[in-house]
Amino acid sequence: MEIPKTYEPKDCEGRWYPFWEERGYFTPEINTNEDAPVFSIVIPPPNVTGYLHMGHALNHTLQDVLARWRRMAGDRVLWLPGTDHAGIATQMVVERQLDKEGITRHDLGREKFVERVWAWKEHSGGTIQKQMRVLGESVDWTRERFTMDDGLSNAVKEVFVRLYDEGLIYRGEYMVNWSPGLQTAISDLEVEMKSVKGNLWHIAYPIGKAVTERVEGLAEAYAAANEGEAKTGLLSTEAGDFIVVATTRPETMLGDSGVAFNPEDERYNSVKGKQAILPLVGRALPFIQDEVVEKGFGTGFVKVTPAHDPNDFAMGKRHGLEFIQVIGKTAKITDAAPEKYRGLSREAARKQIVAELDALGLLLKTEDYTHNVGHCQRSGTVVEPLISTQWFLKMTELAQPAIAAVRDGRTKFVPESSAKIYFNWLENIQDWCISRQLWWGHSIPAWFTPDGEIIVARAEVEARARLAAQGKDDTVELTPDTDVLDTWFSSQLWPFSTLGWPKETEDLRQFYPTSVLVTGFDIIFFWVARMMIMGLKFMGEVPFKTVYINALVLDPSGQKMSKSKGNVIDPLEVFDKYGTDAARFALTAASTAGLTLALQESKLESARNFANKIWNATRFVLMNCDDILESGEPLEWETEFAPPELADRWILSRLNQVALDANDALAEYRFHEAAALIYQFFWNDFCDWYIELSKPHVTAKEASPQSTAVKRRIIFILERSLRLLHPMMPFITEELWQRLPHQGESVSLAEFPQHNAAQLDGRAERELSVVIEIITKLRNLRATFGLSPALLLKAQIAPADEATREVIESMRDHIQRLARLESLELVETLSAKNGFVRAVVTGAELAVPLIGLIDFEQEKARLEKDLAKKAGELAGLEKRLNNADFIQRAAPDVVEATHAQAAKLKNQIFQLNVMKLTLDL
């Protein structure tokens, strides 16, 4: 059988996904064993507007590795796919479309607009699903969900109503983060703090009487009063008394309704009971005292704007100040401000106010000041804190069980340290503003009566029933609430809403709680914590037993990928260039415990080379084993490896060790370790040694019972290797596995190799390592002296004991061939003749007659170097052994091992010295 010399991913990647999907391999029902353990994962639903980025590629690859591994290991596996309706993001996509058509959503009206979004979703929303198939993801498409589908919408209503009935959801007027760009309230998590260079303006407010014309000399007086250590915000001048406040947002002064200072700030006792007069407006402001104000910052006086600052809002509540909203929802000055400012933007008002204060002599100082300003994550506009009527979810009480569940280990974070992020947030949690003034999303299940009473219910019918139950008129007109819910309100139900909740479905019974959640650290607050809360609240059980936090993918230079930096790598281009399997393997192999993962070309190249190695190792077998392939019968080790030779016992032992270690590594989410183990086994053990040792028989022109046996064994090991590789590299392994003798219809369903203790063979591993060491040493000598590979050498070996002699004897042909020897003589002691180059390996000494072939000075130098290295090691060991404390306190086995190591080194040093002497003979 002939196959191409180089692996071409495109030739086979396309064909296998439909094969798997059509045969239903990815549904849990493919596993008919009723006693099979269940393994379930719900995918973090990508935004329906989304396309696959590198973060997904990593996140999805790891989930697929787990799903395929557990499926092959015999579990009933469900990996449930789906997408999120992504309220704001999706609404914006469709609004941009409308914008191109020259209309706005308001032109369409709400109903038509929502229809339009659905239409968009149907036609353009499936990008990510297609890309998931390219990646080979073994998700169960028959159970795909969307956060706005009927089932999930019911779950949302159910949860809302129950939480409301329990008093955990409330509606009220509070200060929220208002996005003027999106025209909606947003949650704290959607606010992005950015460092902005601005100014801190120091402004004088007169006490008692208004300022109507320019006051001279205030700035100088302020500067003079604050020379050196002394600081004060109280100025007494001929023009009267002034206090000084500092602000980064002078435009908000239009809404000031008080001035605050710390109760312990004795500098300002004199102003108690007086009033400041707000410049430009003329409003009288009471002085209040509040702990929040720091004595040491600025002047110690703070202007209080209860309607436009969260702190001031709280102070306003505490002290009964007036709430004057001077900035509106479009970020323009409202009618509550003096007429001349009305309609100005925040920015224009700021400019004008600063200028006017300056003209009045009240602007005392302008400092450069860098501070953090909240920006709307989606629209980028500066968030305006506004008082608005919104729906909120009380979090503190709900958070407690979620904290407890991780503390007591019902849910485990991997890596463990990421739980700190989780605790930190939950322990300082604030109520969550869940309403949004958008059109795309889950409607809030609430209705208003003509009297303005709110009825929360699953449907209008129920709302009327609730009215009737309260003995009220249930025939009144009911107006539905027009707000929608924050997207995360539905996402937080994902682990159970997707399985059918609130119905008690079979899926829910079988797959909840899920086995593991694989996600990024950036949504621990947004999503993970909230799912924990809701899972515990409504299912009474954690939603997942493990949370695996995958790394953040960085660009090759270690920078965070971002559109603005232009360093975003498109995973599809990577799959295209290196092959999907190679990209998947590279990502898996790079998934260490670290928080970040820099995706470098060299890793991808290395993985591509690995795919090619797999291809060619199989190619070698296919090219030489037609006779065996024709029969097509599957191979079992019990029959094939009886009796095994040393190389067979060795490779079986290695295979089993790798199976053991790889299963352990995957069970503990040490992906890189599993990948490295399998890589090394396949390349180093199988290709470099086992195939090389088998070659003479495999390539023998004449078939013989022995060559048949060797070929069958090599095919067996190869077939098991492909199974080990399959979870990480599904396409190439399926392609090749199908060409080998096998049982079953797909490697996807073949058993993942488990270790068999009977095949772990430490003796075989030790014995073959002696052979490997001898061959390597002989090659080393050849390289050191620059001897051509064409030159066949004669060698003597003096084994240290009988057992080693037998091993070497049994492997004599292999050693001769792989070390390119003309003859190999096994002796008791090496000939102490001039012209022999000698070397030591574990368990044997070697000598090669090289007279006339090499420079003996060079050989001496080589021996000196070897001696020096070994002497250094010995010195270290002896220092330890001469230390009485070490002998007394160190573990006995460590002491013993140290003695043994020292003895071995002494012996080797002795031998090396003999060698040096022989050179001089």
Asked whether position 779 contacts RNA by CB under 7 A, the answer is yes
Restricted to residues 610-649, the positions that interact with RNA (CB under 7 A) are: 611-613, 616-617, 619-620, 623
- What is the chain's percent helix, strand, coil content, to nearest 5? 50, 20, 35
Q: Which residue has the tokens 């064993």?
A: 33
Q: How far is the CB of 598 from RNA (least distance, A)?
A: 4
Q: Which residues contact 9 (CB under 8 A, 6 or more apart)?
A: 578, 579, 580, 581, 582, 611, 731, 732
CA atoms within 13 A on the CB side of 382: 14
DSSP E strands: which ranges in 267-360?
275-277, 284-289, 302-304
Cα gap 575→591, rounded to integer Å: 18
When asked if residue 302 is in the footprint of RNA (CB under 7 A), the reply is: yes
| Residues in 323-382 that interact with RNA by CB under 7 A | 371-372
Burial 19-33 (b: 16+ CB within 10 A, else e): ebbeeebbbbebbee
Residue 299 CB, shortest distance to RNA, in Å, is 7
* Residue listed under structure tokens 């639903």: 45
Residues that bind RNA (rule: CB under 7 A) add up to a total of 96
Pick the closer one to RNA by CB: 295 or 410: 295
| In contact, 138 and 80? CB cutoff 8 Å | no
Query: Residue 320: left (phi > 0), alpha (psi -120 to 50), or beta?
Result: left
Task: Identify the DSSP state of 543.
Answer: S
What is the β-pairing status of strands 184-186 and 169-179?
antiparallel
Told to check if 264 binds RNA by CB under 7 A, we report no
User: Is residue 41 within 8 Å of 695, Cβ to Cβ?
Assistant: no
> Which of 210, 404, 791, 875 lies at the binding interface for RNA (CB under 7 A)?
875
786 touching RNA, by CB under 7 A: yes
For residue 308, give both structure tokens.
Answer: 């436009």
Among positions 87, 298, 495, 741, the unique one binding RNA when judged by CB under 7 A: 298
Q: Are 544 and 495 in contact (CB under 8 A)?
A: yes
State the nearest-atom distance from the C-beta of 563 to RNA, in Å.
Answer: 15
Q: Least Å distance between CB 116 and RNA?
A: 33
Judged by beta carbon, residue 783 or residue 917, the one nearer RNA is 783
- Cα–Cα distance measured from residue 719 to residue 387, given in angstroms and rounded to the nearest whole number: 67
Token pair recorded at residue 735 = 């392609």
Residue reference for tokens 């909120």: 392
Nearer to RNA, 317 or 420 (CB): 420
Smallest gap from Cβ 361 to RNA, in A, equals: 20
* 310 is a site residue for RNA (CB under 7 A): yes
Alpha-carbon Rg for the chain in angstroms: 38
Q: How far is the CB of 62 from RNA (least distance, A)?
A: 15
Give dist(CA 46, CA 523) in Å, integer: 12
With contacts defined by CB under 7 A, name the span among 139-147, 168-176, 763-771, 875-883 that binds RNA: 875-883
Nearer Cβ to RNA (422/447): 422
Among 706, 776, 858, 907, binds RNA (CB under 7 A): 776
The span of 102-110, 352-360, 671-679, 760-768 binding RNA (CB under 7 A) equals: 671-679
Task: Decide whether 148 or 915 has the Cβ nearer to RNA.
Answer: 915
Q: If binding is defined by CB under 7 A, does position 568 make contact with RNA?
A: no
Whether the bond between 279 and the residue before it is cis, its omega within 30 degrees of 0, is no
Query: Using the rule CB under 7 A, which residue among 232, 237, 377, 600 binds RNA?
Result: 600
Q: Write down the least CB distance from residue 105 to RNA, Å.
A: 30
Q: How far is CA 661 from CA 19, 666, 673, 678, in A?
A: 31, 9, 9, 9
Residue number with CB closer to RNA (648 or 673): 673
Taking the least distance from each CB to RNA, the nearer of 554 and 715 is: 554
- Shortest separation between residue 503's beta carbon and RNA, angstroms: 36
Least gap, CB of 164 to RNA (angstroms):
25
Smallest distance from the beta carbon of 772 to RNA, in angstroms? 8
**319, 329, 545, 880: which one contacts RNA (CB under 7 A)?**
880
By CB under 7 A, is residue 32 in contact with RNA?
no
**Considering the rule CB under 7 A, would residue 18 count as an interface residue with RNA?**
no
Calpha distance 86→121 (Å, rounded): 11
Give the H/E segment covering residue 775: helix 762-784
Exactly one of 282, 480, 558, 744 binds RNA (CB under 7 A); that residue is 558
Is residue 423 a contact residue for RNA (CB under 7 A)? no
DSSP state of 28: G
| Rounded CA separation 755/760 (Å) | 8
Q: Is 688 in the site for RNA (CB under 7 A)?
A: yes
Considering only residues 855 through 874, tell me which ones interact with RNA, judged by CB under 7 A. 872-873
- Cβ proximity to RNA, 119 vs 783, nearer residue: 783
Is residue 248 within the footprint of RNA (CB under 7 A)? yes
**Shortest Å, Cβ 879 to RNA:** 7
Contacts of 216 (CB under 8 A, 6+ apart): 239, 361
Query: Structure tokens of 814?
Result: 């292999």
Q: Which of residues 578-597 bind RNA (CB under 7 A)?
A: 590, 592-597
- Which residue from 104, 236, 780, 834 is in contact with RNA, where contact means CB under 7 A? 780
Binders in 493-522 for RNA, by CB under 7 A: 522
